[in-house]
């Protein structure tokens, strides 16, 4: 019989749920049982929805306020020392009630591990683990390239990180064990593109703008971006076909649909095929769309990043050699000119992106919780192409 795992995610955009869903898929494919919970649902009635709404509103309409909040409550502090609390110790008033509710829901259950894909969830499990109320390992799956202090809690057992730099930051900032496994994305992004599915997008783009290279513009699940219409027009005037991924924002799709020479898409189900039909991705948050592009071999450029974690993650992603960080319109066009033609920079970025996926997070989870000298049943599992494992 396989193990039992609980995954704590959060409905903040779509990225955290996407990672949780892929982890659940890999673990169940190996014969394990998985339950997934939204940490926002563990809060008192209405609190989770209020937090989600406040975050979406500040990101969209008050970015300066969100940047101030990020600097005050998220930017890492120096490691703990005499007279200083641990940098990951959280005093947020929402952690305690969420921890109590999680403890209630786990009563009588014996999970082999609790996994978290959102920073508030990491604080919740760390609180329970530190109090002795959670007897199994707590494993944090870090989804940001830039580790902020809400990801850290001194009682969590293991951090699975997207890059070696991220894992090193976890240790430097006082977190417990950290391992670089790479981002968690579905196998479809690693596989060779399906010609028939890719052709659906390619034919559409070629009919609209013959001879122009399609460049994707990503705005996340909520359709949040700064001056996106201006960026689309810049790319159009630069000789590209801007293809805007508007997420679930109908208003953004309507606005971008009025920009001449622009393709405005709603929610896209077949993102691997869309990426395969594009020459590059311009994004603004160093989030799931960016790592999906890296897995698919599509060069990534960050332009006008959203404040806080978006800008911090973009800087770390660029510093790792995985993407470009365009400072302005001219820089964006210069970078795209290099990345959309076959040459040394494009090939280096593609190679760096694919090399990022060095291990399987599910393997790391199983190895962390498997009792010494025993093993869960051997079940064929997922492994990205080129993944060397642990």
Q: Which of 35-44, 59-68, 255-264 has the lowest mean pLDDT?
A: 59-68
Which is nearest to 113 in space by CA: 157, 164, 148? Answer: 157
88 or 176: whose pLDDT is higher? Answer: 176
Quickly state the pLDDT bin for 287 (edges 50, 70, 90): very high
| pLDDT tens profile 168-218 | 999 999 898 999 999 999 999 999 999 999 999 999 999 999 999 999 999
- The pLDDT of 279-305, averaged and rounded, is 97
The percentage of the chain sitting over the pLDDT mark of 90, rounded to a whole number, equals: 81
Query: What SS3 state is found at 217?
Result: strand
Given a cut of 80, whether residue 229 has pLDDT beyond it is yes
For the segment 349-355, the average pLDDT, to the nearest whole number, is: 96
Model pLDDT for residues 294-329, shown as the tens digit of each residue = 999 999 999 999 999 999 999 999 999 999 999 999
Residue 288's pLDDT is what?
A: 95
Q: Residue 247 pLDDT > 80, yes or no?
A: yes
d(CA 43, CA 101): 7
Confidence class for position 90, pLDDT limits 50, 70, 90 = low
> Residue 108's pLDDT is what?
82
pLDDT at 93: 85
State the pLDDT at residue 87.
54
pLDDT surpasses 80 at 20: yes
Write the DSSP assignment of 318-385 as a string of letters. Answer: HHTTS-EEE-SHHHHHHHHHHHTSSSHHHHHHHHHHHHT--S-HHHHHHHHHSPTT-----------T
Confidence of residue 73 (pLDDT cuts 50, 70, 90): confident
CA angle in degrees (0–180, nearest 5) for 197-200-203: 140
Q: How far lies 345's CA from each of 33, 280, 294, 297, 351, in Å?
A: 43, 12, 14, 13, 10
DSSP state of 43: S
72 by Cβ neighbours in 10 Å (0-12 / 13-18 / 19+) ranks as exposed
Res. 78 pLDDT band, cuts 50 70 90: low
pLDDT, average across residues 47-61: 91
Average pLDDT for the chain: 90
Lowest-confidence pick of 86-95, 175-184, 338-347: 86-95
- pLDDT for residue 382: 31
Domains, the chain, in order of start with CATH, read 4-185+357-369 (3.40.50.2000), 190-355 (3.40.50.2000)
Q: What's the whole-number mean pLDDT along residues 252-278?
A: 96
125 near 8, Cβ under 8 Å?
yes
Q: Where are the beta strands (DSSP E) in 22-64?
A: 33-38
Give the integer Cα–Cα distance in Å for 364 and 113.
Answer: 12
- Identify the pLDDT of residue 202: 97
pLDDT band at 84 (very low <50, low <70, confident <90, very high): low
């Amino acid at each position: 019989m396989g193990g039992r795992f609980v995954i704590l995610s959060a409905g903040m955009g779509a990225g955290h749920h996407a990672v949780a869903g892929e982890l659940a898929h890999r673990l169940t494919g190996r014969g394990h049982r998985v339950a997934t919970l939204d940490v926002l649902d563990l809060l008192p009635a209405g609190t989770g929805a209020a937090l989600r709404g406040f975050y979406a509103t500040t990101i969209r309409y008050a970015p300066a306020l969100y940047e101030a909040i990020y600097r005050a409550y998220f930017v890492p502090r120096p490691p703990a020392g005499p007279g200083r609390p641990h940098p990951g110790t959280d005093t947020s008033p929402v952690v305690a009630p969420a921890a109590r509710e999680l403890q209630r829901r786990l009563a009588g259950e014996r999970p082999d591990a609790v996994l978290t894909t959102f920073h508030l969830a990491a604080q919740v499990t760390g609180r329970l683990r530190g109090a002795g109320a959670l007897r199994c390992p707590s494993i944090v799956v870090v989804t940001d390239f830039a580790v902020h202090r809400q990801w850290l809690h001194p009682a969590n057992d293991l951090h699975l990180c997207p890059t070696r730099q991220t894992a090193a930051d976890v240790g430097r900032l006082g977190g417990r064990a950290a391992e670089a496994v790479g981002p968690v994305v579905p196998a479809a992004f690693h596989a060779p593109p399906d010609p028939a599915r890719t052709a659906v997008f390619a034919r559409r783009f070629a009919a609209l703008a013959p001879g122009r290279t399609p460049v994707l513009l990503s705005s996340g699940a909520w359709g949040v971006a700064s001056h996106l219409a201006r960026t689309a027009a810049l790319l159009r005037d630069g000789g590209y076909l801007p293809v805007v991924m508007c997420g679930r924002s109908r208003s953004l799709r309507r606005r971008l649909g009025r920009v001449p020479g622009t393709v405005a898409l709603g929610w896209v189900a077949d993102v691997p095929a869309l990426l395969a039909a594009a020459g590059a991705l311009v994004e603004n948050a160093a989030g799931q769309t960016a790592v999906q592009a890296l897995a698919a071999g599509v060069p990534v450029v960050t332009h006008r990043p959203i404040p806080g974690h978006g800008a911090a993650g973009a800087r770390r992603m660029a510093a790792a050699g995985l993407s470009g960080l365009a400072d302005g319109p001219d820089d964006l066009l210069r970078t795209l000119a290099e990345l959309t033609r076959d040459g040394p920079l494009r090939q280096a970025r593609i190679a760096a992106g694919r090399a990022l996926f060095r291990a399987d997070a599910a393997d790391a989870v199983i190895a962390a919780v498997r009792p010494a000298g025993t093993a869960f049943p051997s079940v064929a599992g997922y492994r990205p192409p080129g993944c060397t494992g642990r």
